[in-house]
Structure 1
Amino acid sequence: MANKTRSPYLQAISQDDSLPIEHVAVQLWLKDLDNGLRWTLRPILQFFFAFVLHIVWFIKRLPLPQFSAHSLLQKTICWFCTYFVSKEANLLILRHFATESNILNFLAENSGHDHKVNLYPKKISDMLTQTFVNHDQELFDCFIKLGAVKRSDSETTKKHRWAAWQPINMDEFTIEQKVTQILDFETSHALFMCLFCLLLKRDEYRDAINGFNLDQSIAIRVGNIIDDNTLTEYAYNKYPQYLVGPWNLGQRFLMHGFFTEHLYAKLEAMRISQLE
């Protein structure tokens, strides 16, 4: 049943299941859109922090000694998520770890190598060890080991492997909600962008923001495995050979999140159907 307090467009997308994305993820995102601060505070903060980000990006590109502070970065993010980021946004962040880990594990298992990603945080404090930095490095390590694209024949396609796949159970996530947790997903990301740029080495940050462009490669490779060449339509971020800077980073980050949700839901439906 559509929420009549929402605009007709939001009611429409709440009922539209054309894209393979789990209903719970859609509802979390719609609730995040209901956050009034998203429409008032976010534009101001995004403009301000986008300006700061480009200044930090420029400084980090200068021929100066490089430094990183991964531990401080993760502690700051977890502290901020614990006290200021909304429950819906935190759940979407935790889901993202799980969706991408599952996709990479499926890709590895069905491409003939044993690379396994084990980043499935269930609460905010888990991200102190299962970190965003590890999240990026696991993606790169997976592709380093994958090698050339292998096209699957019809017989192989029927025998997908799911040993490392962990279906997402929302009941396993634990968020102790506080009254100060009021910031929506996009506003929170705007605050994090400068912190990431500052506390990672310049090449680490450049790689992290360009890792989104591997979405197209993932879609191609998974599509070859399951014999579906339409998956690339879900990938907004494309052409990993073309390196980009922090411009339009917020939108590219969000579209990466939608892509992993779409691909996870499609593969999960396929897994379930193969078990029946």
Structure 2
Amino acid sequence: MTTRRSPFLRALEADDSLPIEPEAVRLWLADLERPTRWSLRPLLQLLFGALLHLTWFVKRLPLPQFRAHGLLQRLICWFCAHVVSPEANRLILRHYATESNILNFLIDNGAVDGVAPLTLYPRRVEDMLGASFVDHDQELFRAFAEMGPWRPATGPRATAALRWDHWRPLDTLDIAVTRRRTQVLDFESAHVLFMCLFCLLLTREEYRDAINGFNLDQSIAIRVGQLIDDPSIAEMAYNKYPHYLVGPWNLSRRFLMHGFFTEYLYARLERLRGGQAT
């Protein structure tokens, strides 16, 4: 985007108080300047927010459950490739990698051996047909279940002793998005449209688990903070208290803050890894 940025957005460009990579800031600010973010999104959020709650209610009725993972993946990938802005697509692809890296860091430095690392690192929109949105949630739950109860050490692990066996830096992933003239929709507007599809095409338990999985951010932050002796990391988690299950209310904000959390935590760990290598 070529528009002149407001003083606040220029301040965000320069602010690195929270750990975040310059590329993520560049993509997010460019996406914020999409006209749909400020004109179309409020209307979509009103209409599809109501539709989401209606769909949620119907799915919670004692009716036979159905799911259509393949259809869900094809619809989302087509929509991303043809309608969603390139910046938003890159942010989505980055999210797979940031969360996979964070969970792999916990697996590599955990007390339980034999936990399979995450392999969800799509580099193109087309890759998301295989590295699915559904698997993204299920792999999070699998990793937590296999790591078992968290047993923090008596003290933080020395930086040199931290393991990065399955860590993949984002600058080595060659993430690329094909640009089309029709790709005009911003990140948040796209999510408003996606969320109803997810609720409809997943079973009620799958969807309930998916929207509550965000609350594991606090658990992840606590574990990473104990490993690297940085308790302030817990403050990065907006979504908290995983034992309290919630419905789809405020879902767009919770989803967005989950994305920011993984970007913050990835950047914090990447700086640590870079300093250790140096």
1:11-58 CA-partner distances (Å, limit 9, x unpaired): 111110110000110110000001011110111011100000000000
Match of 2:69 in 1: 70
> Residues of 2 paired with 1:34 and 1:53: CA distance?
26
> Residues of 2 paired with 1:155 and 1:195: CA distance?
43
Q: How does 1:106-145 map to 2 (within 5 A)?
A: 106-112=105-111, 113=113, 114-145=115-146
Q: How does 1:1-276 map to 2 (within 5 A)?
A: 5-112=4-111, 113=113, 114-154=115-155, 156-158=157-159, 159-169=161-171, 172-276=174-278
1:168-195 CA-partner distances (Å, limit 9, x unpaired): 0277112110000000000000000000
1:219-259 CA-partner distances (Å, limit 9, x unpaired): 00111111111111000000000000000000000000000
> Residues of 2 paired with 1:85 and 1:4: CA distance?
20
Gaps (5+ residues) in structure 2? none
Counterpart code for 1:150: R
SS at match of 2:243: coil
| Length, aligned pairs only | 274
Counterpart code for 1:151: P
> Residues of 1 paired with 2:53 and 2:173: CA distance?
39
> Residues of 2 paired with 1:86 and 1:45: CA distance?
17
Q: Could you list the structure 1 runs, at least 4 aligned residues long, displaced by more than 2 angstroms after superposition.
A: 112-115, 152-158
Contact 2:211 2:247 in 1 (8 A): yes
TM-score (norm 1): 0.97
TM-score (norm 2): 0.96
1:77-108 CA-partner distances (Å, limit 9, x unpaired): 00000100000000000000000000000001
Identical columns (%): 59
Q: Displacement, 1:152?
A: 2.8
Q: Displacement, 1:4?
A: 8.2
Alignment RMSD, CA only?
Answer: 1.3
Contact 2:156 2:229 in 1 (8 A): no
> Residues of 2 paired with 1:224 and 1:163: CA distance?
19
Q: Displacement, 1:111?
A: 0.4
> Residues of 2 paired with 1:24 and 1:212: CA distance?
23
Contact 1:103 1:263 in 2 (8 A): yes
> Residues of 1 paired with 2:261 and 2:127: CA distance?
24
Gaps (5+ residues) in structure 1? none
Counterpart code for 1:148: P
Q: Displacement, 1:148?
A: 1.8
SS at match of 2:39: helix
